[in-house]
Structure 1
């Protein structure tokens, strides 16, 4: 989504489209894949109908998930007695955060929501969901405010120094640009030289941009600038009003935006990383969560959840605790 020049004019209709995306609960799409299955087609692995690209999917893929007493026994006795775990995350109003998370009629929806609720069913517990901000969830796990954190956290070496990870999907780092952008693909950070990039603070995206900050100057090019926004709707509006040239975010979300916002396009992914639940270092919860995810994979419930959100290629073959970070 980089350009060879800064976008100097507004992207036509993107403001209205952004507002429409925020209200998509009434008429939006669930598919962020550039080539969604035809309406009514079945996913070969799961037998579940693929998501209709003209509506947010409503299939119930969680209530039939069975509890596993052996996995429940892996939880600490206090957790089994209480029957719940505190989960820290961020609120995602509307549907701008899909496919990972959003709200419809006040009810949380999305891939991440279905996955965590299915894990809770396997472990025989409920989530006490509490909301923070992206930069505060991991510290909240460290200080004991939350038992588990979930907010599309990518596994990194720095994060694994302070918390444990239980992986539950793969995502990546990708770019969104205007349809009028003269560049159709971004494959390296130096494609972004001279541009203003919007991304989330405290994220893997910030780390990637910070680590690569000197690459443009090394080539004799003007460095890129980075602006940080904690709200994705603000990022999209910044793209619309010319305050930023490029938005940098999770691949699944960027593809979703490109599919639903007129006059935008998906420009590519530069890296991938595993995403996981976050728990305190050496907490027994990490293994219990991993075993629960693997139970969902083995039983086919995991595939059904991904088929609902039409996300081929994003699932894991196996959940791991503290895998080797990609960066």
Structure 2
């Protein structure tokens, strides 16, 4: 395949992000007043006009339930933190900033405020530990190195626990996510169960991710069965990928299951193709840092209290959580 195909020309980042964000907002605002369409994706209800029993949402369809104010600090868990953290009352968090709604349900921004499942989970953990987050923004490829060199105490960016990552950082798990595909509506594939179902197609994903690793590891599978290999293109901006799916410049995207399912319900002219694997996701800390155990214990406290389940229910993701947080789970790849 020529390297100068119509699928290989990047879309201008700012225009793409703005256009897709606007589209997601419009779709959410015009959605049904019910809280789910059956796929685990929240629909919208207008502010102040929710039907009895419906979940509260803002005018963008983003849920607004308060699932944090009732969470109390646990002095015993706070005592697990290093003295420096206890004295300062803060943990420095490295993460990437996702504008608009393109990163939901994991993360997004509404009126300058960060929102999302991951945001609620980390705020709940901070409440249990009796500290606050000092949030500092990097990029997905720079957060883990920032944890390694001490710039951040903790990293959070939907990081899957892999063998290579566990060599350099510790994980404290807080959910399981999967690896799934979203396609433009006219792509001649409706279900993907293995990578060879995508032979001959162009796949867009983010660089430095588990998705890149999976596609790289499987690069020879199509040729091995006599089919044309798939081609991979990398985009740092998810909004660019989503706009590309709508305008025909991207055939298939590869990303986290929770996000892909959300996108399939909110981005026009796309379809969910399926999930091929799952991965434990967690906060990352420096190797052998006591912070990792404190984070894991805090997640388990939230699971035991029921607050963890409330957060997943808020984002219409019941059943997507984990029964127990663990340190450094056995990687799936």
The bucket for the TM-score relative to the shorter chain is 0.7 to 0.9
Please state if 1:213 is matched with 2:213. Answer: no
SS at match of 2:203: strand
- Alignment of 1:55 with 2:55, yes or no, is no
- Aligned residue in 1 for 2:73: 67
Distance 1:25 1:266, change over 3 A: closer
Q: 1:34 maps to what in 2?
A: 39
Cα distance in 1 for partners of 2:74, 2:139 equals: 32
Matched, 1:288 2:294: yes
Contact 1:89 1:131 (8 Å CA) reproduced? yes
Q: Provide the rounded CA distance (Å) in 2 between the counterparts of 1:148 and 1:196.
A: 35
Q: Report whether the alignment pairs 1:79 with 2:85.
A: yes
State whether structure 2 residue 144 is matched by structure 1 residue 138: yes
- Displacement after TM superposition at 1:32 (Å): 8.5
Match of 1:45 in 2: none
Q: 2:282 aligns with which of 273, 276, 291?
A: 276
TM-score calculated relative to the size of structure 2? 0.86
CA-CA distance at 1:182 after TM superposition: 2.7
- Count of residue pairs brought into register by the alignment: 309
The change in CA–CA distance for 1:109 and 1:194 in structure 2 (over 3 A counts) is same
CA contact (8 A) 1:103 1:109 kept: yes
Q: Tell me what 1:92 maps to.
A: 98
Q: Distance in 1 between matches of 2:182 and 2:286?
A: 34
Please say if 1:262 is aligned against 2:264. no
Bigger shift: residues 103-112 or 178-187: 178-187
CA RMSD of aligned residues (A): 2.6
Deviation sequence 1:24-52 (CA, Å, 0-9, x none): 69837786861568999xxxxxxx96577
Residue pairs, 1:1-327, within 5 angstroms? 18-21=20-23, 23=25, 27=29, 34=39, 55-327=61-333
Q: Is the 8 A contact 1:21 1:96 kept in 2?
A: no
Report the CA distance between 1:312 and its aligned residue. 2.0
Secondary structure in structure 1 of the residue aligned to 2:207: coil
Say if 1:287 and 1:49 are closer, same or farther in 2 by CA, change over 3 A.
Answer: farther
> Which ranges in structure 2 are unaligned for 5 or more consecutive residues?
1-5, 8-15, 46-52
Distance 2:188 2:201 in 1: 13
Structure with the larger RCO, 1 or 2 (CA within 8 Å, 6+ apart): 1
Q: CA deviation at 1:243?
A: 2.7
Distance in 1 (alpha carbons) for counterparts of 2:141 and 2:65: 32
Higher deviation after alignment, 137-146 or 172-181:
172-181
Find the counterpart in structure 2 of residue 10 from structure 1.
none
Deviation of residue 238 (structure 1)?
2.1
Kindly indicate whether the alpha-carbon contact (under 8 Å) linking 2:36 and 2:43 is maintained by their aligned counterparts in 1: no
Maintained 8 Å contact 2:184/2:248: no
TM-score by length of 1: 0.88
Post-superposition CA distance 1:240-297 (Å, at most 9, x none): 3333210000000000010011221111000001100000000000000000000000
Report the more deviating stretch, 282-291 or 182-191: 182-191
Instruction: Please tell me whether the aligned partners of residues 24 and 102 of structure 2 are also in contact (alpha carbons under 8 angstroms).
Output: yes
Report how far residue 63 of structure 1 moved. 1.6
Q: Deviations over 1:161-202 (max 9, x none)?
A: 000000000100000012223321011101111111100000
**Using the alignment, how far apart are the partners of 2:137 and 2:243 within structure 1?**
24
Unaligned 5+ runs, structure 1: 1-5, 8-13, 41-47
Cα distance between partner residues in 2 of 1:102 and 1:144: 26
Paired residue secondary structure (1:262) = coil
Tell me, yes or no, if the aligned pair for 2:19 and 2:243 is still in contact at 8 Å: no
